[in-house]
Each structure stands twice: as structure tokens, then as C-alpha cells.
Amino acid sequence: MDLEKTLYPLFKNIAFKFDAELAHELTIKSMKLLAPWVNNIPTDSRFQLNAMGLNFKSPIGLAAGLDKNAEAIGFLSYLPFSFIEVGTVTPLPQSGNLKPRLFRYPKEESLRNCMGFNNHGMDAVLKNIQNADRREKILGVNLGKNKITENVNAHLDYAKLYEKFAPYSDYLVINVSSPNTPGLRDLLQDSGLREIFKAVSVKRKLNPKPLLVKVSPDMSLEELSSVVNLVKEYSLSGIIATNTTIIPERGAGGVSGKILYEKAKLTRTFLLNALRETPEIELIGVGGFSNYEQILDFWKEGGKLVQLYSAFVFQGPGILFDIEKRLAEDMTRKKCASFEEFQSSL
Ligand SMILES: Cc1cc2nc3c(=O)[nH]c(=O)nc-3n(C[C@H](O)[C@H](O)[C@H](O)COP(=O)(O)O)c2cc1C
């Protein structure tokens, strides 16, 4: 499989000549077109793991925001991602913030975006999900409130979205950590989050699915502790850490990629420690991962599932094949028959 060595550098060369958002749109369109022509690549069966009651074919997944409207599931699920998170989706369609709103820092393999939850709305996204060939990959849906919804009513948006997507997805994510919807991060405070968890829990009783909350790397340790307490109180399945970070000197929006790594790692380390006594609560690691060694570090710390975004944009599918190759080599060298065994050996 030479896709990563030949096609992607060529594709990137062309795509990076365009404005970042246009390149993104073209990529999604190409993926839609290519989907029927690509074959599944089998994953090494030793990579399987169980988390949140779901059986993952490997620990590597795609983070939210790349396929906001669930248009490219067919193509993405052919790549070595064991899980794909679509969205953020809001109840009503919305166009997001003014363009330009996506910027590249190629030397730092980082992006800055102030998209503002641009998406086609829950009805259109649901149709795409229903029509997608997922090739047995796990599908997560990332949920957000509409910009026009006041924070006091935010819980109603999240409850509505949960009810809509729970029957058609494997896990759901409450996203209140994007820096690009005014006031959204205020909902990460105890009272805002409690209202949302309470409202979603009512719907969740009727259709129980793994439910996670995605946090920001800009939160204080006190704020993170309060999220952990609420996650335990409302029996959520996990936390996703982290979303993008605000760096005012760079401009508006949230920064992802290598620049984010250290900050996101601090957040993850804190959370992994805070969750040590509750192994049933998963921590999905995302934010700045750009190589196998960093992921290995996360596994050593006790995390399992990892999501990528920026590294996939800058390195293409090559990073996925590289992670799989390195993991397979390490497992063979250590004579580990399962991911669990491998993680205990670290
Ligand atoms: C262009 C862009 C759009 C994003 N949109 C979303 C989104 O809609 N919802 C969300 O939860 N995260 C979104 N993210 C954040 C990513 O899911 C991820 O948390 C973040 O980029 C850090 O991972 P990375 O360093 O591997 O990119 C977006 C990131 C980028 C770069």
C-alpha cells in the first residue's frame, strides 16, 4: 500500500496551494467521489481493544471537525482509523464565522481555526449517516449548540441532538469547549454543564449510549476537577481531551497541532490521574499528537484511545500506517498477543 508514499505528497502539494478552507472542501469532495472505489485495509487483530463497552479495531481514531457533515465516512473508514467522530453538528444549519477562518502554520504542523460550528444541521447530517457505509468502524457524533441558542437554553439543544443521533451512532460527545462560539466555554463551568448533563441524561435513559464531554486545554485544574466530579455524578462514559487552545498573539480562534501538544498533554496527565480510581471512565486523548512516540507516552500514562486531526492534515495517511507498523513491530518484539498485554508491558 503506497498511498502514503506517492499519492498523498502529490495531493498535498496541490491542496496546499489553495486557501486552507477551500482545500479542505476539495478534500471532502474527493473523498466522497473516491469512496466507492477503495477497498478496506485489514487491521492487525492484535490491536483490538474494548472501551466504553465498544469493540475498537485499534486505538487510533479521527477527531471531530474534519468531517463536520458526515459526508466522507465511506472514504475515511477505509483508512486505518478504528473510529470516526463526525460533527460538530448543531440542531439548525449554520454558516459559521466570516471567512477566512482557517489558517496553516506548515513549519509547526499546526492550524488555527475560527470556523464557528459551520454545519448543515442535524437533519441533513443524520441523512448522511444513515446512507454511509461505515465498514464496521465505530462512529461518534460530536454535538454543539446553535450560536443563536442562549446559554440558558443550551441544554435543550444537547438533549435534542442526543435523542436524534443516539439510535444511529456508537457514542456521542457533548462539545462545550470550542473557542469559536461566543460564550460556549462558559458552559464548562459547573452549573452550565450540570444543566446539560441532567437534560441529556433523561434522553440517555431511554436510549443508553456511551456519552463523553470534550474539554479545553485552557481550563484550570480546578475547572477540570469539577468536570471530573460531574462526569462521575452523571455516569458519563468518558472525557475527550483536548479541543484547540487560544493563543491571542496568533489571532482569533483555536490552535491545534504540534503547538498545542504540551498544553494538551498537561490536561491529559491531570485527567488520567483524576480518573485512576474509575477505570470505567475513558479518557480519549487528542491534541498535538504528531508521532508514535507521543502516543506511546499516552499509553504509558494509562490512556488508550487517541484521535488525530492536524497530523493527518500535514502528514496524510502515512502517519496512520506508520503508527500501525511501529505498534505491530513493538508487539511482536515483546511477544504481546493483545493491546491490553502490550499496554501492561509499558
Ligand atoms: C479546522 C478544525 C476544525 C475543528 N472543528 C471541530 C469541531 O467542529 N468540533 C470539535 O469538537 N473539535 C473540532 N476541532 C478540534 C479537533 O477535533 C481537535 O480537538 C484539535 O484539532 C486538536 O487535535 P490535533 O492537534 O490533532 O489537531 C477542529 C480542529 C480544526 C483544526
pLDDT (tens digit per residue) in 189-235: 778 899 999 999 999 999 999 999 999 999 999 999 999 999 999 99
Indicate which residue's Cα is closest to atom 29 of ligand 1: 65
Q: Where are the alpha helices (DSSP H) in 217-281?
A: 221-233, 261-274
Q: Give yes or no for residue 252 CB within 6 A of ligand 1.
A: no
254 in Cβ contact with 243 (< 8 Å): yes
> Is 110 an annotated catalytic residue?
no
Instruction: Please report, for the chain, the start and end positions of each structural domain, with discontinuous segments joined by +.
Output: 7-344
Q: Give yes or no for residue 309 CB within 6 A of ligand 1.
A: yes
Catalytic choice (82, 169, 177, 178)? 178
Residue 97, C-beta contacts closer than 8 angstroms, at least 6 positions apart: 114, 115, 116, 118, 180
- Phi and psi torsions of 12, nearest 5°: -65, -40
Stated pTM of the model: 0.95
Residue 145 has pLDDT above 60, yes or no: yes
Cell numbers representing residue 173 in the block: 460527545
Q: Look at 121-130, 170-179, 198-207 and tell me which has the smallest mean pLDDT.
A: 170-179
Residue 35 has pLDDT above 70, yes or no: no
205 in Cβ contact with 162 (< 8 Å): no
User: Which pLDDT value is given to residue 5?
Assistant: 60
Which position has the grid cell 442526543?
162
Across the chain, mean pLDDT equals 91
Considering only CA atoms, which of 110, 79, 83, 109 is closest in space to residue 321?
Answer: 79
3-state helix, strand, coil in the chain (%, to 5): 45, 15, 40
Considering only CA atoms, which of 39, 38, 56 is closest in space to residue 48?
Answer: 56
Q: What is the DSSP letter of 289?
A: -
Cell numbers representing residue 25 in the block: 472542501
Tell the CATH topology of 7-344. TIM Barrel (3.20.20)
Measure CA 223 to chain center: 21
